[in-house]
Amino acid sequence: MAAPVTKGQELELRIDSLAYGGNGVARRDGFVVFVKRGLPGDLVRAQVTKVKKGYAEAFRTQLLEPGASRVEPRCPHFGECGGCRFQDLAYEAQLEAKVDQVRESLRRLGDIADPPMEAAIPADEIYGYRNKLEFSFTQTDDGPDLGFHRAGRWDEVLGIAACHIASDTVNSIRAAVRDWARSTGLSVYDQREHVGYLRHLLVREGRNTGQALVVLVTGPGDLRGREELVATLQQFPEVKSIHWGVNEGQSEITGVPTKLLWGTEWIEEEILGLRYRLRPGAFLQTNTSMAEKLYEVAIDFADLKGGETVYDLYCGIGTISLTLASKALTVWGIEVVEEAVACALENAELNGVSNIGFFAGNVGQVLDELRQRAGAPDLVVVDPPRAGLAGKGLRRLAALQSPRIVYVSCNPTTLAGDLKVLCGEAGYNLLRVKPVDMFPHTPHVECVALLELDPERSLAAQAARAGIAVGDTASSTTDDDSPDAPGQD
Ligand SMILES: C[S@@+](CC[C@H](N)C(=O)[O-])C[C@H]1O[C@@H](n2cnc3c(N)ncnc32)[C@H](O)[C@@H]1O
């Protein structure tokens, strides 16, 4: 259909729902218009910014009539700060929108007509839930400040008074480090000009252990005021580990090698009764209590009886592997980041878990080797990054023909694309899907899906019908040897 709108045009629109990613969805003569800062039920005036073949994009210029689910945002920086897009939408409506997005993704992108959706698990805390915060330094008239990027700006940082999804401890640490920075006279890194010294502050918390780890990231050069920084942070009984990282490049990363300034190399976190060592760069779900709920869903879906061989693909520091180990015969994890594998091995030892093994490598490349070494799995758990299983990882998983798969996903659109293949040519049935909300006020949603191999549609059954050996089916014939790039988590 020809677009009934033009770029620059002002429209009056009623928002029907929220699209994945967070824009409001409205229709003009059936034609979809995605409206930035439009919430369900709103009547808005919006200016069209882009017109594409099947849809247009617009920016809300005026709120004519607020939708019934609008609420007053708690944070004074709401709208200016690039985080927390939905603090102005009632939490129940946020959750409903996320569940709708999962269902719609599975229908539209996964070709699953009637997804077996189960009730979502809401977040237990909608504020103060994040256990990891990365602040950027910014220069203000009062001296250095710490905050987050302004909405839509890569080069501007907004100093904040407090972050409402961080804990009180983290907000106090941020304020103390800001005051220390002001006392040192050190310069702030300018992301446009690439000059200056102070770059980032990273704070991680073990919420169940009451421990905190702090990393100060600077440009190259001596850290003036280092003793004062340590003394400042030692005032917080939670702080057990203080690191300094130097970013010599221009890109804005916090995952740089670090040097210990004081305390222990790591802190510990406890999840479902197991201890984990948390180093500056190790991946850990950023909402501890909801990570426990997510893993409990995975345990429920896994339904282990004790004699199973389990693979945990994309295992990070081994949290899911270790959680399942006491319920299975053996668990094997695969993870591409070698440092994370080292942590996983260390965590297994720390918890006295011995029926477990970890492989460093790209799932698409080492899955066959694992099968040769460990034997065929009874269950495969996958927890890939946002990009999903992608390319060879997906083909290898499909070819493995594990009787059951538990898919933990942080992106319903890539989950849907992967399910299309697994429930299509690979012969699986989708039995259960449960959304878990780990990140209130953001567009992100996790979900757990359970798949079971259909004996009538498995690759073996397909091959038998076609009169060919299983190894000759799609799995191996379509593979090339190029590795898939590891995704982002
Ligand atoms: C969403 S995290 C899940 C980690 C873990 N299951 C947890 O709950 O903490 C995804 C993990 O996949 C890893 N990864 C990304 N691409 C990979 C690949 N191609 N092969 C193996 N691991 C990969 C990342 O390093 C990251 O640790």
CATH number of the domain at 234, please.
2.40.50.1070
Catalytic, out of 75, 81, 410, 447: 410
Judge whether residue 290 has pLDDT over 70. yes
447 and 328 in one domain? yes
327 and 410 in one domain? yes
In a domain, 319, yes or no: yes
376 and 249 in one domain? no
**Which pTM was predicted?**
0.90
Q: What digits encode the pLDDT tens for the residues 358-367?
A: 999 999 999 9
Host domain of residue 227 = 132-271
| Last residue in a domain, options 271, 306, 335 | 271
**113 contacts: CB under 8 Å, gap ≥ 6:** 107
**300 contacts: CB under 8 Å, gap ≥ 6:** none
φ/ψ of 482, rounded to 5, equals -75, 135
The reported pLDDT for the residue numbered 472 is 52
For ligand 1, the distance from its centroid to the CA atom of residue 285, given in whole angstroms, is 11
DSSP code of residue 305? -
347 and 261 in one domain? no
In a domain, 352, yes or no: yes
Q: Are 161 and 146 in contact (CB under 8 A)?
A: no
339 and 256 in one domain? no
CATH (domain of 32): 2.40.50.140
In a domain, 223, yes or no: yes
| DSSP code per residue over 401-437 | --SEEEEEES-HHHHHHHHHHHTTTT-EEEEEEEEE-
265 and 307 in one domain? no
> Residue 312 and residue 355: Cα distance in Å, rounded?
13
How many folded domains does the chain comprise?
Answer: 3
In a domain, 124, yes or no: no
Pairing of strands 446-453, 404-409: antiparallel
428 and 330 in one domain? yes
Q: Are 217 and 175 in contact (CB under 8 A)?
A: no
Q: What digits encode the pLDDT tens for the residues 81-106?
A: 988 889 999 999 999 999 999 999 99
For ligand 1, the distance from its centroid to the CA atom of residue 312, given in whole angstroms, is 10
> Residue 338 and residue 346: Cα distance in Å, rounded?
12
Asked if residue 292 has its Cβ within 6 Å of ligand 1, the reply is: no
| Last residue in a domain, options 29, 45, 65 | 65
| Last residue in a domain, options 240, 271, 302 | 271
Q: Would you give the distance in Å from CA 42 to the centre of its chain?
A: 29
**132 contacts: CB under 8 Å, gap ≥ 6:** 202, 203, 204, 205, 284, 286
In a domain, 387, yes or no: yes
410 catalytic per annotation: yes
425 and 310 in one domain? yes
The reported pLDDT for the residue numbered 479 is 45
Atom index in ligand 1 nearest the CA of residue 410 equals 1
320 and 259 in one domain? no
Residue 294 belongs to what H/E stretch?
Answer: helix 288-302
In a domain, 210, yes or no: yes
Q: What digits encode the pLDDT tens for the residues 134-177?
A: 999 999 999 999 999 998 888 899 999 999 999 999 999 999 99
CATH (domain of 309): 3.40.50.150
